[in-house]
Structure 1
């Protein structure tokens, strides 16, 4: 999709997850569109994970990622992703990714991929209490493409920051675990868990981490549950879990954001 075409029509999630391979370890996200805000963090993180995964053997799926948001990007400009091959072991593969716009790094990520292994399968965190998503009223998720959400519980006084909600991609995704992990990464950065407290208000994301415990389909219902943990030093930190509709704990996340009084 060209810049002109993308201004006429809204992109889909699958458009955003289409990367052009420029060289062996160099990729470019060419879907652009006009937006009044900085580039959505979930988008650049999902694309970075996808770029890393395109350099990994097919028998390995992502099991964790750790990313840092360094500068605000622009949705109206292409992003280039440089992948560094840190290690290819017998069971694990490690990659680093740098996302670049206009010659400056806007985001970097370390991601690890693993060969599926047999072993104990247990989970301490049960599915949080939540009505079936089919019994809740639906609504589009703001600022993201291709996802719908159904809020279960919101923070008092902070309706724009639900802390427990069902979500799913509304378009069918291919049978590729990397694509589903990237889609989960995309939506995982959508909402924070902190309401305004003592004059502080949530701000941009600083860093984000996800652990993928079990395979997941992002085009089926996932329950995201976010828990505020700490606010200090101009930052807030929260953790979260993702369960599928059957109650399987599929992923965990943690994120830190700016948390300051608004500038007068």
Structure 2
């Protein structure tokens, strides 16, 4: 079994995370493991699930949406298996479901869809405000092969940044699936609920996550992630976000719901 570890090869690269082994038809294993004090990063398991699903679709079909549910905390020090169900292959779309498991226990599920390239009307109705170009980038905490920098933000006093530039520093292939996986990997970092944190309450574990891929964009070039809080109620918080290129092209829209509870040990757990 091929296992890439932080102790034997240094820090993994983002491409190591997406180098899945085919155990049997429609069953893939992520053998890149490393030590981390936190549960397995949600963006990693979501990106790997998308990668596994993409390996089963016909050529020429790229992701156009995904919907994932985080069920249990994973362990970055253990391999993760991804079981793919082929729900449908139509003339234009392919639908897949993915179950992520560690030691035969389900930690994450995803439904995702892939679409052949089509040409037609292309409109983005959102008025994009000017954001200064990225300056003085540094490494991004918890993320492999990514750098980022903070421009002026609409919530400057938030506990976590809600607007930032990011770029993958690894040499990425010209493969839309890989770039969509890197986007997915990035999409779970920080939280759009940070502006709603106060002394008594804050956000915790992610519950579910969705992405719509509008246009193919490269993640080895600068992209701007912008997160906006929308609602907190009944122990849950909800936010939306966008990921755009440096010239303003809308690559993806995302939404996420997370626990939002009193600040105590239970805030981070389901």
Alignment deviations for residues 103-152 of structure 1 (CA, whole Å, 9 cap, x no partner): 1100000000001111110001243431011xx22221111101011112
TM-score (norm. length: structure 2): 0.93
What residue in structure 2 maps to residue 96 of structure 1?
97
Cα 1:111–1:230 shift into 2, 3 Å: same
Name the structure 2 match of 1:250: 251
Three-state SS of the structure 1 residue aligned to 2:122 is coil
CA contact (8 A) 1:153 1:162 kept: no
Q: Give the TM-score normalised by the residue count of structure 1.
A: 0.95
SS in 2 for 1:127: coil
Match of 1:158 in 2: 158
Q: Please say if 1:20 is aligned against 2:40.
A: no
CA contact (8 A) 1:153 1:163 kept: no
Q: Over aligned residues, Cα RMSD in angstroms?
A: 1.4
What is the rounded CA distance, in whole Å, between the counterparts of 1:177 and 1:215 in structure 2? 7
Match in the other structure for 2:140:
141
1:224-263 CA-to-partner distances (Å, cap 9, x unmatched) read 1110000111111000011111211111000011111122
Maintained 8 Å contact 1:80/1:100: yes
Q: Which residue of 2 aligns with 1:220?
A: 221
Any unmatched runs of 5+ in structure 1? none
Q: Name the SS for the 1:152 alignment partner.
A: coil
Please say if residues 177 and 215 of structure 1, whose CA atoms lie closer than 8 Å, have aligned partners that are also in contact: yes
Q: Aligned partners of 1:80 and 1:128: how far apart in 2?
A: 42
Aligned pairs for 1:110-121 (under 5 A) are: 110-121=111-122
Residue 200 of structure 1 is matched in structure 2 by 201
Quote the offset at 1:163 in angstroms.
Answer: 1.1
Q: Is the 8 A contact 1:125 1:249 kept in 2?
A: no
Residue in structure 1 matched with residue 7 of structure 2 by the alignment: 7
Shift of 1:49: 0.2
Aligned-residue offset at 1:204: 1.1
Alpha-carbon distance in structure 2 between the residues aligned to 1:125 and 1:157? 25
**Cα distance in structure 1, aligned partners of 2:158 and 2:102:** 33
Quote how far apart the aligned CAs of 1:29 are. 0.1
Q: Note if contact 1:127-1:249 (Cα within 8 Å) is conserved in structure 2.
A: no
Moved over 6 A (4+): none
Alignment of 1:235 with 2:240, yes or no, is no
Count residues in correspondence.
260
